[in-house]
Amino acid sequence: MFTGLIQDVGSVEAVEAGSDGARLRIVTDLGAEISPGDSVAVDGACLTATGADAGSFETEAMNQTLEVTSLKGLEAGSRVNLELAMKASDRLGGHILQGHVDAVGEVVSIEEDGFARRLRVALEPELLRYAVERGSIGLNGTSLTVAALGEGWVEASLIPETLQRTNLGDAAPGDKLNVECDIVAKYVERLVSPFVGKEQA
């Protein structure tokens, strides 16, 4: 489980892509805290470390992961948001994220708003139903608050701290972002859907 509080922005040092998937080497100061087998959220996608040293770690992304996330667009030099799996003793300072990407959204507009920056991302209708104003959403693994909703889009307002400490500060129109919707909303829908439309006895 993750919280959406980015711990470091790593740099992709190497990508070895083939028909069987992709192997990544990512430079980060978190390398000293990572052991083989650990889960690491890379731009919000939960991956397993296959090796690590003090300054980097290696991981693999299978074809299924590449197909449903923005990781297939990574290349040497790409900056990626990183978060280690949450410990039981940690504070839940963001919101619950699983590292299971629901969709890849496209940045459609960016607007400066005082010291903040409003980021609008296109989102499919079947996922928009899980978003509510002032609710939570994960973009590239970052825990954010939904600032506004519209027909086919969701908007988040990024404070300077977020712009500085994540790769969302680099986002531009046309960029692809990994989107993870609120797991609580999904469970609620699953639980109540059998009863929707039924009259009470």
**Position 200 pLDDT exceeds 60:** no
* Confidence (pLDDT) at 74: 96
Instruction: Please count the other Cβ atoms lying within 10 Å of the Cβ belonging to residue 115.
Output: 9
Closest CA to 41 of 75, 3, 12, 11: 3
Q: How sure is the predictor about 16, in pLDDT bands with cuts at 50, 70 and 90?
A: very high
**Position 127 pLDDT exceeds 70:** yes
Closest CA to 141 of 38, 37, 33, 39: 39
pLDDT tens across 70-115, in order?
Answer: 999 999 999 999 999 998 888 888 888 999 999 999 999 999 999 9
Strand partners, 57: 26, 52
Q: Set out the domains of the chain in order of their start, with CATH numbers.
A: 8-84 (2.40.30.20), 103-189 (2.40.30.20)
**Position 61 pLDDT exceeds 70:** yes
Percent of the chain whose predicted confidence (pLDDT) is above 90: 85
Tell me the pairing of strands 136-139 and 176-180. antiparallel
pLDDT tens across 135-179, in order?
Answer: 999 999 999 999 999 999 999 999 999 999 999 999 999 999 999
pLDDT tens across 128-137, in order?
Answer: 999 999 999 9
**Mean pLDDT over each residue of the chain, to the nearest integer:** 94
CB 99 within 8 A of CB 2: yes
Q: How sure is the predictor about 198, in pLDDT bands with cuts at 50, 70 and 90?
A: low
